[in-house]
Structure 1
Amino acid sequence: MTTLRRAASVPGTRILGLGSAQPEQVVTNDDLSKTMDTNDTWIRERVGIVERRFAGEKDTVVSMAVEAGAKAIADAGLSPSDLDTVIVANCTTKSPIPNAAAQVAELLGIKAAGGFDLNAACAGFCYGLGVASDLVLSGSSKRTLVIGSEKLTDIVDPTDRSTAIIFADAAGAAVVGPSDEPRIGPVAWGTAGDLVEMIGMTERQHIYQEGQSVFRWATTKIAPIALKALDLAGLTPADVDVLVPHQANLRIVEAIAKKLRKEGAREDMVVADDIVYSGNTSSASIPMAMDHLRAAGKIHSGDVALLVGFGAGLSYAGQVVVCP
């Protein structure tokens, strides 16, 4: 029997650097009230959003990914030649080919990179982070750039207040590389395909969601996924310094945090609330929230972060990471 040589493996992986990018245009709740039947109080009470960013004509999934990716590479103290793989998690590119990853790699100067897009909607970054970690662990990649980038305004009906008040545009990125010990935990992921109709696209290619059904599902099913991720990492809720759930809705974020505290998470656990000033940016929300928390001095290198994403599919994924 022929024996194949295995690629070199490493003891563990870690996030080496973070970066994020947002368009310049700030859109407030009052701005939206000029084009639809809504107001600032109504939006704040239901989803917790104060403002969000909308892309301009020149902003694309690729351009925002390049900006966030470049920042993450610089934050890691690396150059593009130090990376060999690019993963772009997204669900909003206008065309499935060419993929965003190949374009991003070329624009960043990562030559001959392995590159592919990944679509797990709002869970995309956590899926991508899990894949990136496994690529490095197996020896298939030395260092991987994983980016969540979305231009949701391309698929939102601007007159539909159930979606137009929520979604926004942005990118968030992380560089994953080898570590002397595990600093990215195993991914706890899955799908609820029987609920696929809760979030989807209309015939006119606009996103829709059954808001109340998604809310009930997320507030009951996501905390157990977060607890599973902790168990896979050999930790307990008390070990968590920062909780970074997908920024779908502030009420969902707060409900997940409340359930984790009932299971032993500390009262001083930092809870990401980037939704307030960034809106729901799908696969970009988790890495961008981490980057913003760090910039604000609310989390620090070495903190234990619990990440959990969830969205259309219905797809979900979570893992524990140590902050870079």
Structure 2
Amino acid sequence: MSTSTHTPAAPGGSRIAAVAGYRPSRLVGNEELGARLGVSGPWIERRVGVRSRHYAAPEESVVDMAAAAAGKVLAAAGLAAHDIDLLVLATCSLASPMPNGAAGVAARLGHPVMAAFDVNAACAGFCYALGVADGLVRAGTSGRVLVVGAEKMTDWVDPDDVDTATVFADGAGAAVVVASDRAEIHPVVWGSDGDRADLVAIPDRYSSVTMQGQAVYRWVTTSLAPVAADACRRAGIPPADLKGFVTHQANLRMIEHLATALGATGAAVGRDIVESGNTSAASVPLALSRLIGTGDVRTGDPVLLLGFGAGLSYAAQVVRSP
């Protein structure tokens, strides 16, 4: 058995070398979904901001999608799987609690002996995993970390529940975190409100996602702008100087409210929810990769990332775009 050999001494900071996303091939529009649920396509869009979403094939797993996104981001970074020290998979939708999904992704990439573990902070998971990766790289524990957010939410959604079936979807996004002479991933601001953890939950292993949407909306719109502002303060970047604003893609009205409340007046706002729905831990990297792909965010631009969801967990950090 071999192990990684390229862990450096503790650097000055870390940076994101590349971001990539994977969306399953099946595209489900509002008209198709609304016909089954007894609502109109325009009603769905007005309510949650979604026009379409991607569904994984029945045989396509969280690990499959995570490996697809991981392969794409490694190619974008010019790296091979054997260049990676650690793989962190953010997910809350594995079919089984054991084995962890990260080890399976590492095996799919052809490097099964790398360190690999899962993070479950639901929709905040990618930002949590990115905070962990940044800390490990800066500490010199890991030289290069592959961070993946992947979800198959359709496995856990009641297809006849209009509150959840209209918004949740499947997909994966990934980033490579590497050492840097300067900090391009700024300090994470994270926390939770466990007293209200049941607002978004899967009550038991045989049930589907339940969500108290109005209560979650009130929590997001009253509590998280200060978290985002604190992340900007710790980065030394005023909100007005942000070039990108990427939150968890839960609801379009939430996203736009947060951007206005923060005062991110010059930022391109991630609205991937319109085409991809709510992909939980995959939503932040998918939205960031879309902004980069369209040219709305360029290399070196400061971007605020903000994940939030079940737990009620949240995490925010300012990063420099790769």
Match of 1:35, SS? helix
Match of 2:201, SS? strand
RMSD: 1.2
Alignment partner, residue 4 of structure 1: none
CA distance in 2, matches of 1:187, 1:110: 29
Match of 1:34, SS? helix
Cα displacement string for residues 111-145 of structure 1 (whole angstroms, at most 9, x for unaligned residues): 42110000000000000000001111111111000
Q: Does 1:197 align with 2:198?
A: yes
1:244 to 243, 246, 249: 246
Alignment partner, residue 260 of structure 1: 262
Native 8 Å contact 1:81 1:111 kept in 2 = no
1:202 offset after TM fit, Å? 3.7
Runs of 5+ consecutive residues of structure 1 not aligned to the other structure:
1-6
Alignment partner, residue 39 of structure 2: 38
If the length of structure 2 is used for normalisation, what is the TM-score? Answer: 0.96
1:37 offset after TM fit, Å? 2.0
Alignment partner, residue 176 of structure 2: 175
Alignment partner, residue 97 of structure 1: 98
Letter in 2 for 1:319: Q
Q: Does 1:207 align with 2:209?
A: yes
CA distance in 2, matches of 1:189, 1:70: 29
Native 8 Å contact 2:34 2:44 kept in 1 = no
CA distance in 2, matches of 1:109, 1:232: 38
1:216 to 218, 243, 250: 218
Alignment partner, residue 288 of structure 1: 286
CA distance in 2, matches of 1:142, 1:109: 19
Q: How many residues align?
A: 315
CA distance in 2, matches of 1:63, 1:164: 22
Cα displacement string for residues 174-197 of structure 1 (whole angstroms, at most 9, x for unaligned residues): 000001100000100000011111
If the length of structure 1 is used for normalisation, what is the TM-score? Answer: 0.95
1:8 offset after TM fit, Å? 2.3
1:58 offset after TM fit, Å? 2.4
CA distance in 2, matches of 1:72, 1:173: 6
Cα displacement string for residues 146-174 of structure 1 (whole angstroms, at most 9, x for unaligned residues): 00000000000000000000000000000
Alignment partner, residue 3 of structure 1: none
Native 8 Å contact 2:20 2:175 kept in 1 = yes
CA distance in 2, matches of 1:107, 1:116: 15
Native 8 Å contact 1:84 1:110 kept in 2 = no
CA distance in 2, matches of 1:227, 1:169: 30
Cα displacement string for residues 182-221 of structure 1 (whole angstroms, at most 9, x for unaligned residues): 0000100000011111111144320010000001111111
Runs of 5+ consecutive residues of structure 2 not aligned to the other structure:
1-7
CA distance in 1, matches of 2:309, 2:15: 25
Letter in 1 for 2:73: A
Alignment partner, residue 185 of structure 1: 186
Native 8 Å contact 2:103 2:112 kept in 1 = no
1:231 offset after TM fit, Å? 1.1
Q: Does 1:278 align with 2:276?
A: yes
Cα displacement string for residues 239-295 of structure 1 (whole angstroms, at most 9, x for unaligned residues): 21100010000000000011012xxx33x3100000000000000000011111111
